[in-house]
Structure formats: C-alpha cells, structure tokens
Structure 1
C-alpha cells in the first residue's frame, strides 16, 4: 500500500544549493522529507504518488529570513489601527501567500500585536491554515527614542525593563525576540546611523532568550549597533548597513552561529517605490537610502 506522504518526482532538473548548475534527477520524498536523489533518473517504480516534472526545475523550499506577517501596509503608521480580528485574517493570508510563493520556512521579524505571530504559527502547525514552518515573534522591543513604528512596539528603558519585556514575549510563546538597536531614517524620527540600546540592554535580551533556547534578532544599521550585537551574542542580524571591517571580522568568528539578512528589497522599494508605501520620495532620498544601496552593491 502506498503512503500518501511519499512522492516520487521524475524527469526534473534539481537545484540543490551545492552545484553550480541544475542537474537531471529523480527525487523521492518520504514522510515529508527528501529521502533520495537519483542523478540521471531511474528510481524504481513503486505504488507511491508520481509526478512527472517534464523537465521543470525542482528545488528545496525557500526561507524568508525577515517576515512580517502582520505588517499589511507599507504605510507603517497605519498598521497599529487595524482591529485584531481583521489582523488575524491578514496574517493567515500572508502565510498562504508565502507558501504559494515557494517559501516553506519563515522567520518572524516582529508582529504588530503580541500574539499574532504565535497564533498564526500554532494554526499552521495544527493544520488549520496553510503556511510555512514558522518561527514566531512578538512585538519588537525598542527604547523610547528608537521607536520605529508607533503602536506596534514594546518600549523599554534600562536592563530590568528589557528583561521583563523579553520574559513576557517568551511567556506568550515567541521563538524569536526582536530588538531595535538602530533607527530607520525614512521614518524621520529614528536614524539609521544612531544607536539606541546599551550594551547591557542587548546582553540581557540575549541572556534571557538563550536561557530558554530562543533566538534574538536585531534591527541594526549603525556601526556601533552591529558591534554591540556581535559582542553580546545576537543570533540574527538585519540590515548591517554601516557595519565596518572590525564588525564584519567579529561576526566572521561566529559565522557558523549567525544569520545575516540585509533586507535589500526594503532599500530598493524605499528608493524607487516610496510613494506607493506612504512615504514622500524626498524622505527616501534624504534618509540615506541611496548611500546604503550603493554600499551594499560595492561592500564596506
């Protein structure tokens, strides 16, 4: 008797992430995992479901390393005003779109309300809604001066407030704790080259999350923010626009532990599509977006 979770893909071109080019193969998926890749084809005939790829490309699912399921509008200031019932539906739709687009894994990079990500993740895991495997976040944690988006952030001042905010997020079921170390100049209220959290605040966030086996992600654009994150054991680095050679060397020492997600499309969309997302074009051009885009093209 065939297992409905077993699938044989025949006549496909495989991209496995290791080879320079795709190669012809048959692929067996058993119990939801890749069990065999037969170069050139020729896997034995079975009663399992068989899909003829007709020469099309087959690859592992993608991972979106910087996901905001609940950030349903480019006009960031409007996100907080959406009622929770509608916001849950937005998250479910975002999860479906991700999966339909080939993303079978995603990492939450902050939710607009504390439990939106957690509830969506749990619904995906329970088979209630379609979506990728998901690491859920809660609201991002920032200092009062470093707040990027009013109404969807948790503000803290000092080590003990940071500790309590992290513990509260973990209590609610977060897989990821997101902290805001730098600003986002296009917002015209917190600046990309500035640094808004202390070493001790970053360190305690990492300490509390790691104690329970969770990860810490950071919005870090400024040089000092990137250095603090690297020194204090942050796991996931977003942006790193102004990271210098010393910071990059420090991160390279932990290259097997750290994930870096530059978020390049944010720069592109800010520079060329700012008006579509509720920002005046002059704010994008005056907020250092052009300089950061050029920097990522040529390196530090």
Structure 2
C-alpha cells in the first residue's frame, strides 16, 4: 500500500475543496481517505509528501479523435488524411502519450478509421502502450455521404441499416454509439446544413443502443438537429454551436450532457484572424463562437450538465488540450469548481464510468493529478502539473 499526503484536495464531486488529508492507494485503486490518525503511524511516516500541492482526479476528455493531430496548417492537415494505416497508428500512439502528459487519464474516442481506436483501447488496457484509458465509439455512423463518412465512418440509410450499424459497433467493442446528425458549421451561411438523419433513423439508433446498454453521442450543431437528438433521448450532445436560447433551455430541462467543445472554435477563430481563407472568415467565426459561449452560460445557469471535451484532432486542437477547454468554460462564466467538475466527476457520469473514475473516493481508480497552485483561485494552474497517477502508477512529467 502507498500513502499520499495531499495539500488541497479537490475530489471531483463539484463540492468544496478539502484541506490536507491522506490517500491510501492499493492495487491501482483508492483504498482509503482520511487524516493521519486513520492510518498506521509507520505508514504515515513513509507517506509520499504532496502537501505543498493540489491533488485532484485525473482529467477526462470526453471527445477526441486519436487518429488525428491538432495540425494548425490547412495544407499539411489535408495530407494527413492520405497517410497509410501504419503511419496513422504510430501518430495515434504518440497522441495517447501526449494526452497523459497533460494530465488526461481517460479519453473517449468518437470515431476514426481502420479500427485504430478499438486497437488502442486494447493496447492500453493490456499495457502494450502507455496512455489514458480509451473509451471508443469505434466507427461514427452517418447517412450515405453524410458528415465524417470520409473518416472511416459507417454509412447507413433507413432504420434497419441503422440498427445493424449499431450492432456492428457493439460487436467491435464500442463503449458508446456515435451518430452524425448534422454537418460542420458553415461560417459563411451560419448554419450546419440539413438534418442528415431522419427522426425514424435517429430513434432506431437510440432504441437499439439503449437495448444494448450503450449511450448515444450525437454530433449536432443546428437547432433542428439538436432538438431532434433531444427528442430521441440521446445521452450526449456534441458541439451544439448554433443553438438558440430556447434550445439551450431545452438542454437544461433534459437529462442530456452537453459537450460544447469550445477549443476548436477558439482555434478556428485564431486561424481565421491570421489567414485569409474562404471557409474560415474571422467575422463569421466570431459570430458563431461568441453566441456559442453565451448559450453555454445560459444553459449552465438553467441547470444544464456541461461537460468538457476538446474534439482533439480538430484544426489546432492537440491531444491533452482539455486544460484549455476548462479555461474556456470559466471564460464563459462557469465557476472554476464547475469547470473542473466538467472534466472529472461530471465527465465520468457522461461517459457512464462514474463508478470507476472521476472522483477521489474509496474503491475508485487511483487516477490523480498533482498541481502547483490552486486552480479554484487561478484556473491556469491546471497546466502546472507536478506528476500524474493512472491506476495508482506515477507518470512524472
């Protein structure tokens, strides 16, 4: 058994922080939590002393694409889509290591080609490679020619094909099901195109996924797409960049978790301001991004469950950038404790893993982040990583 003496303890529940205490770690899990008197004198004397630091749960990034890197050059990014499976796999392994160094101990991969995400899940769990725990949707499901079909997606049309596509992902080891409800944001037209799945197709996916005990994550940006997803009873809304006040209130009134993925929009805005492109005009991105931020705050204030996810692999978004997503949630108006909860305890609930990760409680996995400073007072401290523990094993920076 290993004993750790903490400084400030943020336990990931969204509640108040705790003063100095001790954590017992055994067989990769938290075996106990208390004060010095709760443990043997000899164990306390040998405790690893992190009392000058803040200790909190490892971060959870609920929306990544491990096969992609956060390349900030559009031309170079285009070439990445043409690389071989072997090269993409090697890059993805590097992305895992990068994420862990940034304090991310669990990621949810929401779609990619060649079965790479399922392979990485297995490799990490077996200790073949080092990285965060990987949860995966395997292939994202779209209609024929729909959004993201070009990234190894599973194309399906009609309720029956949708059901088969869901079953295929479950067979492949999917932890969740991902569907593409709309396209990406068109910053010139200020829309996301048509709603690509019919109501019947959406409902077929949700019914089959629920029958197989798989949560459903939905890529949706426009108002109509988000509302259709809500009416079908999905688990998480990904992006939602074009919603209005009424839709924000509907999200708050539902049981859905909203993962707004603010980082890619910030990075696209940076790109648009520094490069003249037809598809990424700075003025159009600003309109979308500022409204997106306002809707996040409105939904949060109305009681919505806002969760951190980065869409890592998007333009300029590196794996491990969940630290920035947390910061952007604070910039939207969320209190720091809520922004940290969005990447710990609440994120664990969103991905159906709250019995295992997300909070520092007895019996849960010893995924820990040790930080200099107090992120509740200065959210940028989330980057001042001293060391990371995953399953009780330390990965020093």
Range with greater deviation from structure 2 (194-203 or 280-289): 280-289
User: Contact 1:183 / 1:193 at 8 angstroms: preserved in 2?
Assistant: yes
- How far did residue 213 of structure 1 move? 1.3
- How far did residue 288 of structure 1 move? 4.0
Show the counterpart of 1:50. Answer: 47
Show the counterpart of 1:3. Answer: none
Query: CA, structure 1 residues 164+80, in 2 after alignment: closer, same or farther (shift >3 Å)?
Result: farther
- When the two chains are superposed, the root-mean-square deviation of aligned CA atoms in Å is 3.0
Normalised to the residue count of structure 1, the TM-score between the two structures is: 0.84
Show the counterpart of 2:128. Answer: 128
- How far did residue 70 of structure 1 move? 0.8
- Render the CA deviation track for 1:194-241: whole Å, top value 9, x for unaligned: 321111111111122222111211111111111111111211111112
Normalised to the residue count of structure 2, the TM-score between the two structures is: 0.65
User: Contact 2:206 / 2:232 at 8 angstroms: preserved in 1?
Assistant: yes
User: Contact 1:237 / 1:259 at 8 angstroms: preserved in 2?
Assistant: yes
**1:75-86 equivalent positions in 2, closer than 5 A:** 75=74, 77-86=78-87
User: Contact 1:138 / 1:174 at 8 angstroms: preserved in 2?
Assistant: yes
- How far did residue 23 of structure 1 move? 2.6
- How far did residue 80 of structure 1 move? 3.5
User: Contact 2:181 / 2:220 at 8 angstroms: preserved in 1?
Assistant: yes
Q: 1:9 aligns with which of 4, 7, 10?
A: 4
Instruction: Count matched residues.
Output: 290
User: Contact 1:95 / 1:131 at 8 angstroms: preserved in 2?
Assistant: yes
Show the counterpart of 1:63. Answer: 60
Range with greater deviation from structure 2 (73-82 or 132-141): 73-82
Q: 1:36 aligns with which of 32, 46, 53?
A: 32
Query: CA, structure 1 residues 164+85, in 2 after alignment: closer, same or farther (shift >3 Å)?
Result: same
Query: CA, structure 1 residues 271+81, in 2 after alignment: closer, same or farther (shift >3 Å)?
Result: same
Query: CA, structure 1 residues 46+288, in 2 after alignment: closer, same or farther (shift >3 Å)?
Result: farther
Stretches of 4+ aligned residues off by more than 6 angstroms: 187-190
- How far did residue 182 of structure 1 move? 1.5
User: Contact 1:141 / 1:153 at 8 angstroms: preserved in 2?
Assistant: yes
Structure number with greater CO (CA < 8 Å, separation at least 6) is: 2
Q: Structure 2: any 5+ residue segments left out of the alignment?
A: 299-397
Rounded Cα–Cα distance in structure 2 between residues aligned with 1:189 and 1:135: 35
Rounded Cα–Cα distance in structure 1 between residues aligned with 2:150 and 2:78: 6
- Render the CA deviation track for 1:34-56: whole Å, top value 9, x for unaligned: 23333588743345973111411
Show the counterpart of 2:287. Answer: 291
User: Contact 1:9 / 1:27 at 8 angstroms: preserved in 2?
Assistant: yes
User: Contact 1:179 / 1:217 at 8 angstroms: preserved in 2?
Assistant: yes
**1:237-256 equivalent positions in 2, closer than 5 A:** 237-255=237-255
Show the counterpart of 1:169. Answer: 169
Show the counterpart of 2:220. Answer: 220
SS at match of 2:234: coil
Query: CA, structure 1 residues 162+94, in 2 after alignment: closer, same or farther (shift >3 Å)?
Result: same
Rounded Cα–Cα distance in structure 1 between residues aligned with 2:141 and 2:271: 27
Rounded Cα–Cα distance in structure 2 between residues aligned with 1:149 and 1:269: 24
User: Contact 1:180 / 1:218 at 8 angstroms: preserved in 2?
Assistant: yes
Rounded Cα–Cα distance in structure 2 between residues aligned with 1:155 and 1:244: 30
Show the counterpart of 1:183. Answer: 183
- Are 1:156 and 2:179 matched, yes or no? no
User: Contact 1:193 / 1:221 at 8 angstroms: preserved in 2?
Assistant: no
Rounded Cα–Cα distance in structure 2 between residues aligned with 1:80 and 1:183: 18
Query: CA, structure 1 residues 289+142, in 2 after alignment: closer, same or farther (shift >3 Å)?
Result: farther
